[in-house]
């Protein structure tokens, strides 16, 4: 287990020392000022009182005299001023420290993201390039029979496709962040889901089933929405492909399509190993993948869910992840329906 203090760098320690010093010094000087003001008041009071005693006045007369009342009023005002300024200073300092801390946290998040990016990209780029190189070298050096040729070109093509997907995902993620130009149209989401199932079916050994909200199974136009066809299809494809990738030896993946009045729900349910609770919030981060380079059995860049979430949110929808019973994962997206489907 990595100890928490190992993540704190020397610069951070210096920062915390300086901040603690400034806070303690601020509090100490405010306290001293408060005490000194009190002492000054007491000294003036004794001095005035001695004058009154010489004149033969009683203590009660002194305490009611204008000179003393003025002095007391001035003292009270000054004490309030010191306290008020102390509080304002403290609030400003805490706000400033909070901003600096936030900035530092963002910087650390960015560095972590960058590291994730480098780790996944290096691996994802290096291995297909290396195997394409190997195929080309083999083709150059040896005379192959048609069977071997077919096998090698098939494998090289698979790797080229992997590289193509990686570059596409990277470009899409970059465009998403810079403001992607969607082209919205009215479409039947049920048909789109069916098309996505047909596209992904060959990659899964088991069955991919679509359940439609009981009463609506027969009705047309119950899942109409305004969406960008290409990107919304990639949302559904990403979720099905994840289910296939992370629950490969199971016998079914279930898609539930529900009409919940103003919104439609699409659930993609698998029976794989599931996602630990602590990881659920992080899987939507850019380049985030579970486990590390050595333990991972699957290929990927950790961009799929980042892009998926961005697209869903740009369609005024939400995405969430839940545990499936008895095991596995359920991804649920909710999208606004057109009025005719409500």
* Positions in the binding site for ligand ATP (CB under 6 A): 169, 242-243, 245-246, 270, 272, 275, 283, 288-290, 300-306, 329
Q: Write down the least CB distance from residue 196 to ligand ATP, Å.
A: 15
Q: Write down the least CB distance from residue 174 to Mg ion, Å.
A: 18
Residue 212 contact among Mg ion, ligand ATP, none, beta carbon within 5 to 8 Å by kind: none
Q: Which is nearer to ligand ATP, 224 or 269 (CB)?
A: 269
The residues facing 211 across adjacent strands are 256
Beta carbons within 10 angstroms of residue 130's beta carbon: 11
Q: Which is nearer to Mg ion, 176 or 225 (CB)?
A: 176
| Per-residue CA distances from 95 to 1, 76, 98, 157, 178 (Å) | 33, 29, 5, 56, 31
Q: Which is nearer to ligand ATP, 44 or 245 (CB)?
A: 245
| Per-residue CA distances from 153 to 54, 125, 138, 156, 167 (Å) | 115, 19, 11, 5, 21
Q: How many helices, marked H, and strands, marked E, lie in the chain?
A: 8, 7
The residues facing 335 across adjacent strands are 264
Q: Please report, as ranges, the residues that interact with Mg ion according to CB under 5 A.
A: 242, 304
Q: Which is nearer to Mg ion, 242 or 341 (CB)?
A: 242
Q: Write down the least CB distance from residue 291 to ligand ATP, Å.
A: 7
Residue 190 contact among ligand ATP, Mg ion, none, beta carbon within 5 to 8 Å by kind: none
Q: Write down the least CB distance from residue 329 to ligand ATP, Å.
A: 4
Q: Which is nearer to ligand ATP, 233 or 283 (CB)?
A: 283
Q: Write down the least CB distance from residue 333 to ligand ATP, Å.
A: 13
The helix or strand, by DSSP H or E, that contains position 208, with its residue range, turns out to be strand 207-212
> Are 300 and 289 in contact, with CB atoms under 8 Å apart?
yes
């Amino acid at each position: 287990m990595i100890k928490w203090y190992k993540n704190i760098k020397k610069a951070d320690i210096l920062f915390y020392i300086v901040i603690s010093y400034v806070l303690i010094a601020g509090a100490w000087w405010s306290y001293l000022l408060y005490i000194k003001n009190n002492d000054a008041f007491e000294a003036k009071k004794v001095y005035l009182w001695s004058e009154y005693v010489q004149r033969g006045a009683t203590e009660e007369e002194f305490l009611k005299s204008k000179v003393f009342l003025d002095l007391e009023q001035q003292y009270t005002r000054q004490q309030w001023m010191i306290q008020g300024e102390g509080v304002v200073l403290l609030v400003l300092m805490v706000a400033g420290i909070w901003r600096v801390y936030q900035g530092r946290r963002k910087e650390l998040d960015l560095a972590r993201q960058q590291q994730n990016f480098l780790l996944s990209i290096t691996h994802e780029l290096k291995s297909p390039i290396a195997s394409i190189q190997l195929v080309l070298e083999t083709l150059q050096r040896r005379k192959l029979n048609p069977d071997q040729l077919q096998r090698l070109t098939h494998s090289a093509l698979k790797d080229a496709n992997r590289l193509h997907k990686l570059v596409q995902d990277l470009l899409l993620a970059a465009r998403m962040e810079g403001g992607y130009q969607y082209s919205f149209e009215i479409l039947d989401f049920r048909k789109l889901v069916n098309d996505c199932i047909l596209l992904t079916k060959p990659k899964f050994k088991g069955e991919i089933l679509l359940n439609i909200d009981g009463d609506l199974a027969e009705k047309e136009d119950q899942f109409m929405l305004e969406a960008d066809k290409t990107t919304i299809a990639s949302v559904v494809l990403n979720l099905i492909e994840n289910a296939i990738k992370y629950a490969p030896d199971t016998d079914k993946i279930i898609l539930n399509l529900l009409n919940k009045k103003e919104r439609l729900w699409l659930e993609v349910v698998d029976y794989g190993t599931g996602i630990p609770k602590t990881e659920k919030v992080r899987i939507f981060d850019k380049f985030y993948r579970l486990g590390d380079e050595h333990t991972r059995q699957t290929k990927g860049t950790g961009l799929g869910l980042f892009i998926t979430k961005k697209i869903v949110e740009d369609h005024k929808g939400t995405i969430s992840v839940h545990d499936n019973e008895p095991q596995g994962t359920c991804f649920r997206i909710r999208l606004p329906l057109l009025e005719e489907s409500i």
